[in-house]
A and B are shown apart, each in its own frame.
Chain A
Amino acid sequence: MSADTMTDTAQTGNLQRKLHAISNTLLMSLGPVAAAFVLSGVILLILDVNPFSYYGYVFGRGLLSPTGVQATLTRMGPLLLIAASLIVAFRAGIWNLGGDAQFLVGAVFCAAFTPLMAPHVPVWIGLLAGAAISAIFGALWTLVPAFLRAYQGLNEIITTLMMNFLGISLASVLVKLVFLDPNTTVPQTRTLAVEDRLPTLFGTTISSGLIIGLVAILAVHFMMTKTAFGLRLRVVGGNASAAVHAGLAVPLLTVAVFAISGALAGLSGGVAILGQYGNVRADWNPGYSLAVVPLVFLARFNGFAAIGFVGLFSIMSIGAESAARRTGVPNYFTLVTIGILLVMLAISEYYGAKRQKAGA
C-alpha cells in the first residue's frame, strides 16, 4: 500500500516540478542570450557605434524586411542540418568538430556531379542523387576519425579537427584541378541550372532546404529520445563502461554515430548547393559547423531549442551583413556576440551546477 500512495503523491508534485524545471531551463538558456547582447552592446559603444542602431539594422534586415526574412529562412536549412549532425554526435558523447570539412566535401562532390547529371534525368532524381552523394561523401570523411576512435580509442576532438584542415584543402584542390568548370575563368565547379535546383516555397525565394532541415532535426530529436537505437547511443554517451557492461557493441555504435553525423553534415553542404549556390567556388568555406556548435550547447542538445537558436543566429548573420555596410562594423561581429554567448553559457552552467549542489 505504501508504494501506491508514494507514487500518487509523486505524481501531483510532478506537474509543479515540471513547470519549475521548464522555467529554470528557459532562464538558463535565455539569460545568457540577454547578457551576451548587453555585453556586445558595450563593445559596440567602445567601437563608437550606437548599439541600438546596430542591432536595429541587424534585426531590421534579418527579421523585419521581406527579402531579409527569406534569406534568413533559406540559410536556416543547412544550419539546421548541421545542428542535427551535432546533436546525434554530442548526445552519444562523440565530439565531432569536423563538420566544416564534412560539409565542404559533401558540397564539392554534390556540385561536381549533379550539374552533369541534371540535363539527362528528371529534376527530382537529380536532386535525390545530389543529396545522396553529399551525404555519402560527408559520411566517408568521418571514417578515419571513426575507426581511430572506435578501435584505438583516439580522441576524436583532435582527429576531426585535423581532418578539417585536410578536408578544406582537399575541397579547394578538387575545385581548382579536378571539377573545374571549363567554361569560366574563375576557379569554380559547373553551375546547377536554376530550374534544376530545390524548389522554392510558396512563391517566395525561401529554399525548400528549410523543410529538409526542419524534418532532419525533428527526426534526430525523435530518434535520440524515443527509440531503442537512440537510447543505446545515449548510454554510450552517458557512461561508456556501462554500455560495455550492458553488452552494447560500442565500437559499431561509435562508427554508426560518426557515419550519421557526417552524412547529415555532408547533406547540409548538398542542400546549400542544391538550394542556394548551385556551384562551389574555390576557397569557399562558410564555417557553419563551428558556428553552430555553441548554439547546440545553448540548446542543451534539444532539437526544438536548437531550431530557436539556429533561427536567431541566422537572423543575426544575415542582418550583420547589411549592418556592416551601414555602420562599418564587419559582419564577423556576429561571431563576437556568439563568442560572448558561449562565455555567458559557461558562467550560467557553473552557477547552475553550484546552485544544484547547494539545493541537493
Chain B
Amino acid sequence: MLDAHPSSPSTTPSTEAPPIVTFEGVTKRYPGIIANDSIDMEFRAGEVHVLLGENGAGKSTLVSMLSGLQQPDDGRILIDGVEKPISSPAEALDIGISTVFQHSMLVPSLTLVENATLGRKWWQRPDRSGTAKAMQDAAKRIGVTLDPMAVTGDLSLGERQQAEITRALMRGARFLILDEATAMLTPNDAARLGELMRRLAAEGMAVVFITHKLNEAVAYGDRISVLRLGKKVGGLSPEDLKSLDAQEATNQVVRLMFGTRDTTASADQKPDMSTVDRGAKPSLEVLALYADAARVPLSNLEFKVWPGEILGIAGIDGNGQKQLAAALAGQAPISDGRIVLDGAYIDRLSIGQRRAKGLRYVTDDRLGEGTVGGFPMSINLLLKEIGRMPYWRGGLEQPEAIRENARQKVKDFDIRTPSIDTPVGKLSGGNIQKVLLARELSGSARVVIFEKPTYGLDLANISATQMRIRETAQNGAAVILISTELDELLSLSHRIAVMDQGGIAGIVENTEDARHKIGELMSGVEK
C-alpha cells in the first residue's frame, strides 16, 4: 500500500482530528459477489475523503452502509470511537450523516424554505421566516448565496445541490456524503462545489466525496482511498497529497485503480504472438463507426482484428466500451460506418444472423441480460438456440437432447451446479460465467467479444476464464477483450486500444512500455 511505503515516511506527527466514523473489516456480500471485502477506513472531521473506483468497485455499497440503507455482514462500524450500528437512514441523520446524491432530492414545485421545513411533524406550523433566516445564516457560514424564497425548480442543479448541503447543515450534519455529486454538473458548477467542499472541511466537517474523475479527486481531496473489486487497494494520505504535484498524484491513482503489480513479473505472462497471422485477412474490421447512444455516443471507431489475435480494449469504465460491444453484437443501432466480418458486411444483419456468422458476445451483465435467472441452467445454455435441431424438432422440445447437452457442458466447462435443472440465478457468479462461456464458445466462433469477463469472480475462476480466452484465440478466432483490469489486458492481449469518451484515444502494441503508454492515454496526457 502506498500509505505504508517506506520511501515516503510521514514526517509530520499525526495532529489530525479523531475519526467520526471508522470501518473495521467491514464486509458486505450479495449473492455470488463480495461487494465490500473487509474494508478498513477512517473518516475524519475536517477532511475531504475521496473514494475512487470503477463501477462495481464497491463504492455505492460502502455509501449505503454509511447512510444506514444497508447493514454489513461482517466487521465493525465505530461512531466517535464507539461501536454502533447505523441501522436506518433516520439513525444516520441522528448521528449527523447526510447524503447528497447526483440527482436532487428536493421537491421542485416548493420553495427552498418549504423544502427545508418538510421534515417537521405534521401538526407543527412551518415557521417560514424563521427557517429562511436560519437557512441564510447557514449559507453565509459556508460562503453560499441563495434565495430561500426561490422555487426549487427554477434553480440550476448546482444551486440545488448547494441548497441541499445548506439544509443538511441546518439539520446539524457533521458528516456529508457527496455521492457522485459532480457527475451531472457543468464544469463551472463542479468547480464551485469543489470549493464548497474545501470550506466545509475547514469548518470541521467530514466530507466523503465519491467520483469517477481523477482530476477532481486530486484537486479537492485531503485523502484518497481507491477501491477495486470490493477491496481497498490503497490510497494517498494527506502527506502524500501535499508532497506530490497533481500529475504525480494522478499517476499514482491510475496505478492503484488499474493494478500495481511488479511490471517485470508479468513478462512470462506475455501473450503468445505465434497465434496471430497478420498476413491473413482480418476477421473483423470496424470502419468509421458512429452510434448515437444516449450517454456515451460512439464516434469514428476504426480498428481491425486478425484471426488468433486478442485486441484489448482499455479505458475507465463508462467510456463507450459497453456501447461498442452492443453495436458490434447488433443489440444497439449504429448511425454510420460499417462492420465487416470475414469480408462480408454484417452491420445490417440481426443479432441472430450475426451469431450464425460466428460473432459471439460474452456479456458482463450476466444476470441482467446474459441469462434468465429463474430458468433452469440447461435451458439457459440454449437460450440463443431456441427452436434449433436437435434440441427442438418441429418446434417441440426434446428434453433428452437438452439434458444431454447440459451434462456435456457441465463436464467440459467444469460448471459446479447441484443439478442441470437448477435455476441459473442460484449459481455463484463464477458458475454463471461458465454457463455463458459454454454457450458462446461452442460451435464455430469467428469473433468473440468478452466484456469484463473476470469481473466479480474469484481467483480460480479468473484464471479459468483467462485460459478460455487464450484458447479461443489459439483456435483461430479473433478476440475483443474489454476490461478495466490493466494487468489482465497486458497479460492476454496482443494489442490494446484505449477508449475515451466514446472514441479510441490510441492503439498500442503490447510491448515493454505498453503499460506506460496506456496510462498516459487513459489519464489524458497524450491528446
Contacts and interface: CB of A to CB of B under 8 A. Distances in A.
A183 to B, nearest CB: 49
Interface in B369-395: 369-375, 379, 383-384, 386-387, 392, 395
6 contacts: A7-B407, A227-B396, A228-B396, A229-B387, A235-B383, A248-B386
B397 A242 contact: no
Contacts of A247: 330, 350-352, 355, 384
A232 B369 contact: no
A227 B418 CA distance: 26
A238 interface: yes
Given A242-B371, A245-B363, A231 B397 contact: yes
Residue among A14, A235, A246 having the largest count of chain B Cβ atoms under 10 Å? A246
B373 A239 contact: yes
Contacts of B397: 226-228, 231
A178 interface: no
B375 A238 contact: yes
A302 to B, nearest CB: 15
B368 interface: yes
A246 B356 CA distance: 12
A14 B395 CA distance: 28
B189 to A, nearest CB: 32
B369 A10 contact: no
Contacts, number: 74
A239 B372 contact: yes
B394 to A, nearest CB: 9
B209 to A, nearest CB: 32
A242 B410 contact: no
B186 interface: no
B409 to A, nearest CB: 11
B396 A3 contact: no
Contact of B395 (A7, A228, A246): A228
A103 B329 CA distance: 42
Given A3-B411, A7-B407, A7-B419, A231 B386 contact: yes
Nearest to A229: B395
Interface centre among B370, B419, B420, by most A CB within 10 Å? B419
Given A241-B369, A242-B371, A249-B350, 14 more contacts: A14-B419, A228-B386, A228-B395, A228-B396, A231-B379, A232-B386, A239-B373, A241-B365, A241-B368, A242-B369, A242-B372, A245-B331, A245-B363, A247-B384
Contact of A228 (B351, B372, B392): B392
B365 to A, nearest CB: 8
B445 to A, nearest CB: 15
A3 B350 contact: no
Question: Contact size class for B?
Answer: 20 to 34
B383 to A, nearest CB: 5
A244 B383 CA distance: 11
A50 to B, nearest CB: 45
Nearest to B361: A245
Nearest to B355: A247
Nearest to A225: B397
Nearest to B419: A10
Contacts of A249: 350
Interface in A191-220: none
Interface of B: 329-331, 350-352, 355, 361, 363, 365, 368-375, 379, 383-384, 386-387, 392, 395-397, 407, 410-411, 418-420, 426
B337 to A, nearest CB: 21
B350 to A, nearest CB: 6
Contacts of B411: 3
Contacts of B395: 227-229
Among all A-B residue pairs, the 9 with the closest Cβ atoms: A247-B351, A247-B352, A228-B387, A241-B369, A238-B372, A245-B369, A10-B419, A239-B372, A228-B392
Contacts of A7: 407, 419-420
Interface in A221-262: 226-229, 231-232, 234-235, 238-239, 241-242, 244-249
Nearest to A244: B331
B331 A235 contact: no
A231 B386 CA distance: 8
B331 A246 contact: no
Contacts of B329: 245
A242 B370 contact: yes
Nearest to B393: A228
Contacts of B426: 360
A246 B384 contact: yes
Contacts of B371: 239, 242
Which one of A227, A232, A241, A247 has the highest number of Cβ atoms from chain B below 10 Å of its Cβ? A247
Contacts of A14: 419
Contacts of B383: 235, 242, 246
B387 A232 contact: yes
A232 B392 CA distance: 12
Contacts of A231: 379, 386, 397
B432 to A, nearest CB: 12
Contacts of A245: 329, 331, 351, 361, 363, 369-370
Contacts of A241: 365, 368-369
B396 A226 contact: yes
A242 B331 CA distance: 11
Interface in A54-96: none
A242 to B, nearest CB: 5
